[in-house]
Structure 1
Amino acid sequence: MTPAVFDFSGQTVLIVGGTSGIGNAAAVRFAASGARVVIAGPDDVQGSAVAAELGAGVEFVKADAASARDMAGLVATTVQRHGRIAVAINNAGIEGPFGPLQDLDEADFDRVIAINLKGIWLGMKYQINHMLAKGGGCIINTSSSAGINAIPMVAAYSASKHGVVGLTRAAALELAASGIRVNAIAPGPVHTALLERMVDGAIPLSDIAAQVPMRRIASADEIAEAMLWLASDGSSFMTGHIMVLDGGMTVA
């Protein structure tokens, strides 16, 4: 795949959950397109190492997506260092346990919802306040094809991703006249550590690929490419859209 050419020179992009997987791939592409990129995650060691590896133009701020204090501080720190946040990506997420929903522990369910759904809301809460003050911006949330069509054995994950769809659409309507666009991506299976943890060897990745009409699993780079387009002027009339990137799974 030859990446499209985008120009985000002089713009600041904030990626919550930018230290691994799709978020990391997005950080690479935005930085290569000229943006100043701030990646956030809860692990100081991992985040600092990733930022150092990505080089100039990328920096790490420690933040837990499920913490209101951390999310408020993340936005404040980014604004203090770089001024206006042009693009905010809320990508933090965990898979939760694999198994029947009646066997889920309450603590596990709460943790999935706290990061995957409440974390998206907290990110938007502080990003929106900043963007309203600055006259606009672009927000991209990460849902999942599991947020379009339910997937058994990952009920908490699927419920959280359905919630992201609702939050995205509601925010888009509230903000449509304010110069803030809010969209989401809904990836199907992607070659990331999250997918491997989710199935935990219970389902071979080859079997998952066989269920995709395109007969393969996506790369994180493919999903990141869609994020760049959603953040670009090419999608300037798009808001409230859930972009499904699943090789045809949800229409099969």
Structure 2
Amino acid sequence: MAHSASGGGHMGENIAMTNVAPENDRGLAGRTVFVSGAGAGIGRGVAEALGAAGAHLALLDLDLAAIEAVAAPLLARGLRVSCHTGDVTSAADVHGAIAQAAQLHGGLDGAVNNAGIVGASADVMDYPAEVFARVLDVNVMGVLHCMQAELAVMKPQGCGAIVNIASAAAIIGWAGQSAYVASKHAVVGLTKTAALEYAAQGIRINAVCPAFIYTDLTAELFQTPGVHDAAVANHPIGRLGQPSEVAEAVMWLLSDRSSFAVGSSLVVDGASTID
């Protein structure tokens, strides 16, 4: 249940453009996709998978060096890639970055709103209010800012696909993680509402809900003795997930192959949320 940190506004001039044969045909070759939190974890896995499928990318993260490292091999393959830094909690950062990306790439075909944080681990009674507010700011307001900026580009186009990375925690409870759970429930509700509002305008909006995925973020959780083994035990498949497995779900929702999927929450969880 994890993502990278937040992202936002400065643009690196990392651009190349040729026709590139994709390694894996997902129907996304030649399309431009924006990815937030692209420097690590699920965001990085999604960006790399999209690049392998021949998509051009606008990458967003707080860490410019991290997204430049993601961009480098894609640029070497002749893909068009732009790098943007800032904070998704800043509407100005996000709108500036996405407007720049759309101008640079000539539009925006898809977007993956992935940036997020977990927050503290504490019972509701003891949860620090300032941390709770920060989690909501990044995980909910960050998605809202990204969607508003993306829709400002896609609505005039009359087409586009947006995928919000929620979590398996969006459909269950998780003791000790009230802020994260609340934020991811909100992302799913926001996804459904926006999907209803823009479906008739040619824009499909969906969510993906991963359970525990091996990322830098979950690595921090797994430093606590027993947490990793308990997490594995909670997944009937007998293991945790990889970012590439989440990326497969994201790419399907971005592609025309999911043309009738609107407002869905695609669960990728190793059976961990089945009652």
Q: In the alignment, what sits opposite 1:79?
A: 102
Per-residue CA shift, 1:186-223, capped at 9, x if unaligned? 00111111112245415431221111111110011000
Alignment match of 2:160 (pick from 127, 131, 137): 137
State the Cα RMSD in Å: 1.5
Count of aligned positions: 250
> Is the Cα contact below 8 Å between 1:140 and 1:184 reproduced in 2?
yes
Q: In the alignment, what sits opposite 1:238?
A: 261
Runs of 4+ in 1 over 4 A off after TM superposition: none
Q: What TM-score, normalized to structure 2? A: 0.87
- Choose between structure 1 and 2: higher helix proportion: 1
Asked whether 1:209 is paired with 2:232, we answer: yes
Residue 249 of structure 1 aligns to a residue whose secondary structure is: coil
Distance 2:203 2:145 in 1: 16
Alignment match of 1:24 (pick from 29, 39, 44): 44
Q: In the alignment, what sits opposite 1:40?
A: 60
Residue 121 of structure 1 aligns to a residue whose secondary structure is: helix
Distance 1:114 1:218 in 2: 26
How high is the sequence identity, in percent, across the aligned residues?
38
Per-residue CA shift, 1:134-162, capped at 9, x if unaligned? 11100000100101001111110000000
Deviation of the 1:53 alpha carbon: 4.8
> Is the Cα contact below 8 Å between 2:221 and 2:227 reproduced in 1?
no
Distance 2:122 2:258 in 1: 38
Distance 2:131 2:73 in 1: 32
Asked whether 1:64 is paired with 2:84, we answer: no
5+ residue gaps, structure 1:
none
5+ residue gaps, structure 2:
1-22
> Is the Cα contact below 8 Å between 2:24 and 2:52 reproduced in 1?
no
Distance 1:54 1:36 in 2: 9
Distance 2:214 2:83 in 1: 23
Deviation of the 1:102 alpha carbon: 2.1
Distance 2:207 2:51 in 1: 21
